[in-house]
Amino acid sequence: MENKQFRFVLIGAGGIGTWLSAGLVRLLEWKYPGSALIIVDGDSFEEKNKERQDFTKIGNKASVKAYELSSQFYKTTIIPVPKWIVGDNFEGVADAESPKIKATDLLVDNDVVFAVVDNFAARKIIFDAASKLNNVDVFTGGNDDALFGSIYHYQRRDGRDVTEHPVTTHPEYDNPPDKNPGELSCQERSEIEGGTQLLATNMAVASFLLGRVQKIIVDGQEPTEAEIYFDLGVGKAEPYDRSAVPAMADSKV
């Protein structure tokens, strides 16, 4: 049987992405050799990030993590994209100190995308770009409330939504309460306050996402319970069905 190969696109190599990348590369290395893991992040790792993130040296997160993984895994092509994600209408500055890439230029059909940036505006750009593709899976997850977190899976097949675009149930994807870091100046980004993220919850989000990848991508099961909320403090998780409602034309006999 011909070996299946994937293009995994990890957007965000911070508190969640640093742990998620370690799991994704192992899955690709042993189940789908010859695949590609693309790591996208315009930010740099600093000493203050050590409490929650796994890096061996200071530098751009995408470049450092890609280097670290490439030295351990040889059957997976690991590509760093040290750039900030922006939308199609971005008209700001893009230079060597603040490189950008449009989500629509990054994502292609059949991508498996992991949007683990800690920002609704940036996630909206990624989901909206994915909504223009025929076949794509976008997994996102985050936490900003101690031991509480959540994940969401948006899937499209043959040009139609299989699960709902998150804007259907989450108005923050229609009018994000924050600004995309990729569209801010270096000074503005430095003034953004951190949330209440914890190492345990970051790792839990990564684990839940890996579980979804196993079920949906590896095992080929239906993505019905596309949204999951969890609370590590009480050891509880709640799944929610986010199946897209078929178009009227599809319901005709």
| pLDDT surpassing 50 at residue 138 | yes
| pLDDT surpassing 50 at residue 250 | no
pLDDT at res. 93: 66
| CB-based burial label for 190 (10 Å; 0-12, 13-18, 19+) | exposed
What does the pLDDT average to over 115-125?
93
* CA-based nearest residue to 163, from 139, 184, 147: 139
Looking at mean pLDDT, say which of 139-148, 165-174, 183-192 comes out highest.
165-174
With the C-alpha atoms ordered 175, 119, 185, 38, is the resulting torsion angle positive or negative? negative
* CA-based nearest residue to 117, from 126, 108, 109: 126
DSSP 249: G
Of the listed ranges 45-59, 106-120, 193-207, 231-245, the least confidently predicted one is 45-59
* CA-based nearest residue to 40, from 86, 4, 76: 86
Contact 164, 156 (CB under 8 A): no
pLDDT at res. 163: 97
Joined tokens for residue 10: 């990890």
Of the listed ranges 64-68, 78-82, 137-141, the least confidently predicted one is 64-68
| pLDDT surpassing 90 at residue 105 | yes
| pLDDT surpassing 90 at residue 12 | yes
**pLDDT digit string, tens, across residues 147-162:** 999 999 999 999 999 9
Dist CA 25 CA 43 (whole Å): 21
Counting other chains too, the contacts that 55-61 makes at CB distance below 8 Å and 24 or more residues apart are 55/18, 61/13, 61/14, 61/17, 61/18
Of the listed ranges 57-61, 117-121, 240-244, the least confidently predicted one is 57-61
| pLDDT surpassing 70 at residue 247 | no
| pLDDT surpassing 80 at residue 64 | yes
DSSP 160: E
| pLDDT surpassing 80 at residue 164 | yes
**pLDDT digit string, tens, across residues 32-47:** 999 999 999 998 877 7
Mean pLDDT for all residues in the chain: 88
What does the pLDDT average to over 197-217?
94
pLDDT at res. 178: 84
CA atoms within 13 A on the CB side of 147: 7
The secondary structure element, H or E, covering residue 44 is strand 44-45
The interaxial angle of helices 17-31 and 199-213, nearest 10 deg, is 30
What does the pLDDT average to over 141-148?
86
pLDDT at res. 195: 58
| pLDDT surpassing 50 at residue 252 | no
Dist CA 201 CA 81 (whole Å): 26
Contact 144, 196 (CB under 8 A): yes
pLDDT at res. 52: 72
What does the pLDDT average to over 227-238?
95
Greater confidence (40 vs 187) lies with 40
Neighbours of 173 (CB within 10 A): 18
Domains and CATH numbers, the chain: 7-251 (3.40.50.720)
What does the pLDDT average to over 130-134?
98
pLDDT at res. 130: 98
